[in-house]
Chain A
Amino acid sequence: MMQPERNYPELNICALISTGKHPDSHRARRAKQDARAVEMALSIAPKQCQVIHAGNPQEESLRSYAGMGLDQIRVLVQQEKTDVVPVLRDYLRLANPDIILTGIRAESGESSGMVPYLLAEQLGCPLISGIADIVSVKEGVAEILQALPRGQRRALKVKLPFVATVDMAAPEPRQSAFGPASRAALDALESTVRHDDEVWQAWSEAPAKKRPRRLKTVKAKTAADRFKAATAKSQASGGKVLRDQSPSEMAKAVFDLLLEEGVLR
């Protein structure tokens, strides 16, 4: 599906990306939400968008972002298990972008989803979570569609600059092409400060255990109650049945139920 071409050459957009991790094979890949953030940045300002990663510049999965048509990816060099927020904050203060886009949660590391919140707090700009689209940017005010559960959308207006996390409901990212991916420059920026994350280093990690399913426990006090709980059929009572009535009466019953449930908007 073609997105309507919206071009805002005056906008300065940053997309923050992380290395993804396939949930089954655990192979490094382009993170799904971050790729959507890059896609959104590219569709709004294809020339002015800057894609930033804090981590290892040798990471091969960064190339799959570059294959979306990026000339370069700015990598702020950081070691494993370090706090990336200070270095990102310092960089973004200098770059001073109008819009900072990123995914909701990373697929690797702690994946707490805190980075955009901490950046917004420390840069002093508003944060909008889970956006589906940026409809327009006019006179320093952006109109945004926020994704809500059950496919609903909410319209928001926010002044630039702002931080936004991109929901899975946003337009799908374009394919990554091999040629541009290998041609793109991974521009590594060595940083003098290093913020070791001692708290994280104290944690122990293990492959995710399957969580026990909650059992339906019967807390009956008497034998009669236990007997009832063991023999009661679920959905034992069929609902109300209307027959041999005029269609208008039956339709009224259906209409009343729909109204009561609040699904008629």
Chain B
Amino acid sequence: MSDIIRRDPRAEWIARNRLHPLHQAMQQNVAEVRGPNGLIRKNPHAVGFIGPNGIKRIDRLNGNQLTTLGSRRSGATKEVKLPLHRVTDPDYYIIVVPDMVGGRLSSHDRDVLGQAHQLTHEIGGSGAVMAVVFGEYREEHFDKAGVDRLLNFTGDAYESYSPELRVAALALTEQQFAPRHWLFPDSVAGGFDLGRRLAARIGERPATQAWQVSSVQTICRGAGGTQDLTRDTPRLLLLAEECAAPIDETRHEVLPVTTSAVVTCRNKIEDCGQVAVDPNAIAIGEAEFILSSGNGVHNWDQFHQAAKVLGATEGASRVAVDAGFMPRFRQVGATGTYVTARVYVAVGISGAVQHLQGIGQCEKVIAINTDIGCDMIKRAALSVIGDSEAVLAELIRLVDAYRQEVIDDAA
């Protein structure tokens, strides 16, 4: 062959023409091209691929996009696997006694667990956070809340109100584990009482309503919340709400811990169970279940009957109160009372801004209304479009039947 370099115009043309069917095949994938000065040359034209419309596409995510595309197509958001925090051989324990309202960790409990981990970080060493839970629980995500060890006292006695027994159990735990700190939520749901009982039992002077805690210094509210007391951090702390950020970036082992000792105590307090309370005697601001009426209610006798049958506290919108159908103290909203009900049933309320402000903290809102365009429907978890009188009548019938069934089953 001669030394003359011959050009191949056709090959050059195909190399230039990205749309040519032979273009991809003609491209040679040379890993590294060195220029005349020894520098590595990159061919920018070789980057990327030709998309279905003949337009060049460059994938700058190095193939990472493919996985996200796949998950988006499947519809379900993929659960992020958080890193596991392991404490194999703990030097010390920090014990948290959560309230477990309804068998689950409350947000206050999570804050306290977060505080416990903050303390272990400050103290250093390998410290384990142990949660002490009484009776049956329904919480499934102890691991994500930051529980390294779980001590569960089970038995029928713990299911009812048993502060003396619980304190005896905690005092035993104190003997066995000698924790570095005891942390309680300072809440009416139970931590207030139990924490102080334990403090009196083991002779520790607690910090109460503590809201800024480090391993050396604690700031807590005193004098009925008007003073800040700065003090050394004691062993036993009763923490205010939002004392620390909850755990959200790690998983924890939740290893079950058992005690060999048997808890015994003389019960001087006998629990006779919860008392049926007239729902209308409960202040509307703290009622759990509210049946609220507005302009769309015409049959007031039926409304009162429905509230009675459901066992709900009555509420009203401003219109119903102004019209004289309901007393002023029943008014819900910015001009009345801000309510904290877990379930709020709005009958014939269109949902003025002031009213929606008043129900801002409600978890589940149910709307019964004839107008599908109203704001209450947008807020509600379940909306029923129809005549409120007919729906309430059916609802009363259903609840009556349900109550009858429960009584028959019990008999």
Contacts and interface: CB of A to CB of B under 8 A. Distances in A.
B192 interface: yes
Given A107-B224, A118-B200, A242 B382 contact: yes
B366 A214 contact: no
Contact of A128 (B200, B269, B343): B269
B343 A263 contact: yes
B366 A257 contact: yes
Interface residues on A, range: 35 or more
A153 B274 contact: yes
B289 to A, nearest CB: 4
A126 B275 CA distance: 22
Interface stretch (B30-38, B83-91, B176-184, B391-399): B391-399
Contacts of B256: none
B352 to A, nearest CB: 17
B230 A204 contact: yes
B201 interface: yes
A232 interface: no
A264 B311 contact: yes
Interface stretch (A38-46, A50-58, A179-187, A205-213): A205-213
B384 A250 contact: yes
A129 B201 contact: no
Nearest to B272: A155
Interface in A96-119: 105-114, 117-118
Interface string A146-166: 101111111111110010000
A235 B360 CA distance: 11
B275 to A, nearest CB: 4
Contacts of A255: 395, 398-399, 402
Contacts of B392: 251
Contact of A154 (B208, B227, B273, B384): B273
B377 A241 contact: yes
A265 to B, nearest CB: 6
Nearest to A245: B386
A17 interface: no
Given A150-B288, A238-B378, A239-B380, A214 B242 contact: yes
B410 to A, nearest CB: 14
A243 B371 CA distance: 10
A120 interface: yes
A193 interface: no
Contacts, number: 227
B268 A126 contact: yes
A154 B229 contact: no
B interface bracket (residues with beta carbon within 8 Å of A): 35 or more
A58 to B, nearest CB: 20
A149 B188 contact: yes
A23 B272 CA distance: 37
B271 A127 contact: no
Interface stretch (B6-14, B148-156, B276-284): B276-284
A158 B270 contact: yes
Given A21-B226, A199-B205, A254 B269 contact: no
A145 B269 CA distance: 12
A263 B313 CA distance: 11
Given A129-B193, A243-B386, A254-B395, A109 B366 contact: no
Majority-rule SS of B interface residues: mixed
Nearest to A121: B200
Which of B188, B221, B345 is the most central at the interface, judged by chain A CB atoms within 10 Å of its CB?
B188
B394 A247 contact: yes
A19 B24 CA distance: 90
B26 interface: no
A152 B208 contact: no
B22 interface: no
Contacts of B200: 114, 117-118, 120-121
A244 to B, nearest CB: 8
Find the residue from A111, A114, A125, A130 having the highest chain B CB count within 10 A: A111
Contacts of A252: 394, 398
Interface in B353-393: 364-366, 368, 372, 377-387, 390-393
A258 interface: yes
A240 interface: yes
B197 interface: yes
A150 B282 contact: yes
Contacts of A231: none
Contact of B364 (A130, A156, A243, A261): A261
A96 B200 CA distance: 21
Nearest to B393: A247
Given A113-B196, A117-B197, A243-B385, A105 B269 contact: no
Interface of A: 20-21, 23, 26, 105-114, 117-118, 120-121, 125-130, 143, 145-146, 148-159, 162, 199, 202-209, 211, 214, 219, 224, 235, 238-245, 247-248, 250-255, 257-259, 261, 263-265
The 10 closest A-B pairs by CB, nearest first: A151-B282, A251-B394, A107-B224, A243-B385, A239-B381, A247-B390, A155-B272, A126-B268, A121-B200, A117-B200
Given A126-B268, A206-B227, A255-B395, 8 more contacts: A114-B199, A130-B193, A152-B277, A199-B205, A209-B228, A245-B386, A247-B391, A264-B310
28 contacts: A111-B224, A113-B192, A114-B200, A126-B164, A126-B269, A146-B161, A149-B189, A149-B286, A150-B282, A156-B269, A156-B271, A199-B205, A202-B232, A203-B229, A205-B229, A208-B228, A239-B365, A239-B382, A245-B386, A247-B393, A251-B392, A252-B394, A255-B399, A258-B345, A259-B402, A261-B364, A263-B288, A263-B310
Interface of B: 68, 161, 163-164, 188-189, 192-193, 196-197, 199-201, 205-206, 208, 211, 221-232, 242, 245, 248-249, 268-277, 281-283, 286-289, 310-312, 342-343, 345, 364-366, 368, 372, 377-387, 390-395, 397-399, 402
